[in-house]
Structure 1
C-alpha cells in the first residue's frame, strides 16, 4: 500500500492539522482514513474530537456513537470504546446536559475504570446534586412549611411538625430560624443530639439569634448537662441581659447543678473536646499569652470559635475568666 494512502498516515496528518487548529483539513484526513479503513474506531473518535473543538456537539456525539457501534461489531479494545463514551460525555457536559454527561461517563467507566474519569464523574455528580438542591430552594414555600410546622407543634403533634420543619429547611437551608424551630421539635421528641446539632447550625448562621442559644440550653437541660446548659444561657444573656427565659434557665441550672466540682472537673478533663483543644498549638500559644496578659482574653472572646474553646476550658477548671 502506498504510504500516502495508508490509513495511519492519514490519521497522523489529521492529528497534525487538529493540533494546528486547521479543523477543515483534519476532517479531510480523518475522512480519508475512514474510507481506507472503515472498521477502525479511532478515526471516528478523532473526528468527534474535531467536532467538539468546533462546538458542533451533536455531530461529536454522532461520531462517538458510530465509534461505539463499530467497536462492538469488531470487538475493539474496551479502552477505545470507553474513550468514545467519555468523549460523548464531554460533549453533553459542554451542552450543560449534566445528567446525560454523567450517564455517558458511567457507561465509559463500566468499560474501563480510568482514574481521571472517576474523579471527573464524582465531581460532576456532586455538581448535579448541588444544582438540584439550589433549584429546590424556595423561601416562600419554606415560610409556609414553617407555619404549618408551628401549627402542629402547638397541637403537640411533633412527628407531623417535624415533617414540615424538615421540608422548610430543605427549601431555605440558610435560614437560622428554621433550625431553631426544628431543634425545639427534636427536643420534644427527645432526640437531643440532633437538636443540639440544629442549634449549633442556627448559631453558626446567625450568632446573634438568641433563641438558638436558649433552645440549645433547653436540650442540654433535658439531658441534665447543667454546666453546658448554664454556658448556653450565659451566651444568650450576653446577647440580651434582660431576657427572662435565659435568666430563669440560668437560675434553674445553678439550682440543679449539684455535681461534685472535683468529679465535674475530672469528667471534663477526660472530654475528648477538651483534650483536642489542649493539643492545639494555636490554643497553647493563646493560653500562654493570657497567662502573661489576663486582659488579652477580651480580644480573643470576640472570635466565636475561640470563645467556645475558652469557655470549655473554663468549665473544666483549666482557666479562669471574669
Structure 2
C-alpha cells in the first residue's frame, strides 16, 4: 500500500509541474512565432524599399511608392518591437529624402531627415545626411553643425570629416581642413582618393609642393583614371620646372579626356616654356575651339599667346 501511495504522490507532482510549465512553453512559442513574423515583415519592407529605384522609372512614382511603404510600416501591427520599427521608418525616410533631393525639392528632403533624426537622435547618419543637403544648397553653417554632431556621435565617420574639411577649405581655414582630411584618410573610406586630392590642393595653396606632389601621386596609385590628379600633378611639375614630367601627365590626362580645356591650356604653356612654339599654338587653338562658354578674358589671353608665339616661331 505504501508503494502505491508513493506512486500516486509522484503522479500528482508531475501533473502539477505540467500545469505550470505547459502555459510557459506554449506562451514562449507564441512569442517566438511573433518574432519570426515580425522579422519576415522587416525583410519584406527592406526588399520593397530596395526595389523602388530599380523597378520604377519616374521620381514621382518612386516618391509615391516610398510614401506608401512608410504608411504600411506605420500601420503594421506585426512590428511589435518599437526599436526595429523605428529603424525601418528611418531607412524609409532616408530613401524618400534621397528621392526629393534628386528632384531638387530640398525642403522635403530636409523634412524627411528631420523625421529620421527625431526617431533616433543618437544615429549619426541622420545628421550626416541632413548636413549633405545643407552643404549642397550652400548653407555651410548648418551643414557644419550637422557634420560636427555626426562626428560627436561617431568619431570614426570618415565622410563627415571629409565634407566638413571641404567647408573649412572653402572658408580658407586650411589647418582645420587638413586636420579633417587627415582624420578621414585614417579611416580609409572608399573615396580616399578624393580626400588625398583635396589635401594635395591645400598643400599646393600653402606652397608645400613636396607634400602636394606626394598626395597627387597617391591618388594616381589608387585611381589611374583620375583626371584632376594628372592636372594637379602637372601643375606641381611646372612649378618645379620639370616640364617633361608635366607634359607626360598632360598627355595621359588628354588620352582619358580628349576635350579637357584645362589640360590643353596647361600643355600649351609647357610647350611654350620648352620653346616648342608650333605645338603650343596648336594647343592654344584647340582651347579656343573647345571654349564653348566663350570665357572672354581667357580667350583674349589665349589669342595673345598665339599671336606672340607665331612671331617667335617665324624668328627661328
**Same fold per superposition (TM over 0.5):** no
TM-score, reference length from structure 1: 0.36
TM-score, reference length from structure 2: 0.37
